[in-house]
A and B are shown apart, each in its own frame.
Chain A
């Protein structure tokens, strides 16, 4: 009996050792990622929140604790209000239109035709285009004197528009360029989603003699909804994080009409050296993205049909 107990404890010891070594191996595999997430994501996130409660010097070193003051200042500043409005409008302009466009293109490109591969390539091409390169091209297209758009308008006898220089049009212009830039990625994923739909659904619909538009409403869109949901979430998050095209096309102008939040953070932190205010804005950005994602999931859960 005692030897059995003895053996039993010996086993437990070996097992504990093994559990520990399992833990160690697992952690070893995870450590590089955890370390980098810690240093370059979790720590800076905490630090951002911390900095948002301070006045800082031009180096970003916190000097005086001011509590909510940075936030209060923000809410009172017209500049921030404009920035928030620009961000909201930008999201509103780009996300729905972008998704509708990408979905339409994906449905078009999901036909079984000869040479359809070429069109798929054409539609996904913007995925390979950097923000910088795309912005330069659109800069040229928007050019008031030699750009394509004003030339077309001129040919129609309509006077030209100062696309990027007119506060009325600048945000819209940047949005159009952005929709184009983001189409490739959304298209690619939506096409994948379409191709995952079970073909037999369409076959049975055809046997039942259902019309094309009904097929679209009753089969394609519901079955595509998980993919649409994913694309919407990603597009939303991306839209809130837009920076490159603003920096290259408008620099936040004219009259701050395109000063979206990330650009505003960038300017405050690296040009005006107002790190406290930049951090407060970053915190607001974080909270906004979080709320939008959570809302999105809450709504999505009810609307999405998983297969």
Chain B
């Protein structure tokens, strides 16, 4: 009973957004909870009034790029921490830990200047590359790689398999589940990014869908809540589906990363 009530309260705002997106203007103003007919008119009009398709495409591209970049960089770094031994490794590891102490927002001004001077404003490079390195992801994968028996590495050393081949041929496939978890997490976070895209994009060609929502909300269509909610639904649908598909895995993976 408590379960049901709290569940409904938690999802109500989301559900409500879905319902409003199907309502006609009058219904919204009357404050109905259920649309009389499920009309797609708001969606049509949302796509007409703002270049939603472009935004969605941009967001998808940016998220996939960030996800790929993070997976590659994090797994490379985690591999180095677990399977290579050299002077200064510990030191670099502490350097990685220290990055978690720096709030990214505290560095946004010089970062903006850097991206600007690189000519990366309004570009996919500017939107994605600054986020490729991620300490959390590196730790998560390092935890996972450490569970791989070191004999596996030694066996491949005796067979004469190169480090790179051991990485791609053994470590990555063995850590597949954790990598998928990280991929989901990366994608979710990247898709939902707000502040940075707001700073580095100012034209419609490169804007992501989150900034598109801000645009919708500040334009005159803001009073047309049905259309705005149709936009909201388009924004949250991909991540909600991803979350529902990967919820269990995400939970296990994040817990693993959280505890030690």
A and B touch in the complex (CB under 8 A): yes
Residues of A whose CB lies within 8 Å of any CB of B are 19, 22-23, 25-27, 29-30, 32-37, 39-45, 47-48, 51, 60, 104-105, 108-109, 111, 113, 118-134, 136-141, 146, 148, 151, 180, 183, 188-189, 191-193, 195-196, 226-227, 230-231, 237, 240-241, 243-244, 247-248, 262, 265-266, 269-270, 275, 278-279, 282-283, 285-286, 289-290, 293
- In the assembled complex, the CB of A191 is this many whole angstroms from the nearest CB of chain B, namely 6
A36 contact from B102, B109, B132, B255, Cβ within 8 A: B132
Known pairs A40-B111, A247-B214; A290 contacts B101 (CB<8 A):
yes
A91 to B7: give the CA distance in the assembly, Å.
25
Report the tally of A-B residue pairs with Cβ distances under 8 A.
277
Question: By the criterion CB–CB under 8 Å, are A141 and B13 in contact?
Answer: yes
Please tell me if B43 contacts chain A, counting CB pairs below 8 Å.
no
12 intermolecular pairs with C-beta atoms under 8 Å apart: A26-B80, A33-B138, A35-B133, A44-B114, A108-B3, A111-B3, A125-B243, A188-B247, A188-B250, A191-B251, A227-B259, A286-B103
Question: By the criterion CB–CB under 8 Å, are A266 and B195 in contact?
Answer: yes
Question: By the criterion CB–CB under 8 Å, are A44 and B7 in contact?
Answer: no
A40 to B129: give the CA distance in the assembly, Å.
9
Task: Please name all residues of chain A whose beta carbon is closer than 8 Å to the beta carbon of B195 when the two chains form the complex.
Answer: 243-244, 247, 262, 266
B102 contact from A41, A47, A128, A151, Cβ within 8 A: A41
Question: By the criterion CB–CB under 8 Å, are B114 and A243 in contact?
Answer: no
Count B interface residues, CB 8 Å: 88
Question: By the criterion CB–CB under 8 Å, are B2 and A128 in contact?
Answer: no
Closest to B101 in A: A290
Known pairs A122-B10, A278-B109; A32 contacts B73 (CB<8 A):
yes
Residues of B whose CB lies within 8 Å of any CB of A are 2-4, 6-8, 10-11, 13-14, 16-17, 20, 28-29, 31, 72-74, 76-77, 79-81, 84-89, 92, 95-96, 99, 101-114, 129-130, 132-133, 138, 163, 188, 191-192, 194-195, 198-199, 210-211, 213-214, 216-217, 225, 228-229, 231-232, 235-236, 239-240, 242-244, 247, 250-252, 254-256, 258-259
- In the assembled complex, the CB of A99 is this many whole angstroms from the nearest CB of chain B, namely 14
Question: By the criterion CB–CB under 8 Å, are A132 and B14 in contact?
Answer: no
Task: Please name all residues of chain B whose beta carbon is closer than 8 Å to the beta carbon of A151 when the two chains form the complex.
Answer: 31
A138 to B16: give the CA distance in the assembly, Å.
10
Question: By the criterion CB–CB under 8 Å, are B106 and A125 in contact?
Answer: no
Known pairs A125-B240, A151-B31; A119 contacts B105 (CB<8 A):
no
Most chain A C-beta atoms within 10 Å of own C-beta, residue among B2, B77, B247? B247
Question: By the criterion CB–CB under 8 Å, are B214 and A248 in contact?
Answer: yes
Task: Please name all residues of chain B whose beta carbon is closer than 8 Å to the beta carbon of A130 when the two chains form the complex.
Answer: 191-192, 194, 210, 213, 235-236, 239
Task: Please name all residues of chain A whose beta carbon is closer than 8 Å to the beta carbon of B101 when the two chains form the complex.
Answer: 289-290, 293
Most chain A C-beta atoms within 10 Å of own C-beta, residue among B7, B28, B213? B7
Question: By the criterion CB–CB under 8 Å, are B110 and A33 in contact?
Answer: no
Known pairs A137-B232, A227-B255, A265-B108; A125 contacts B84 (CB<8 A):
no
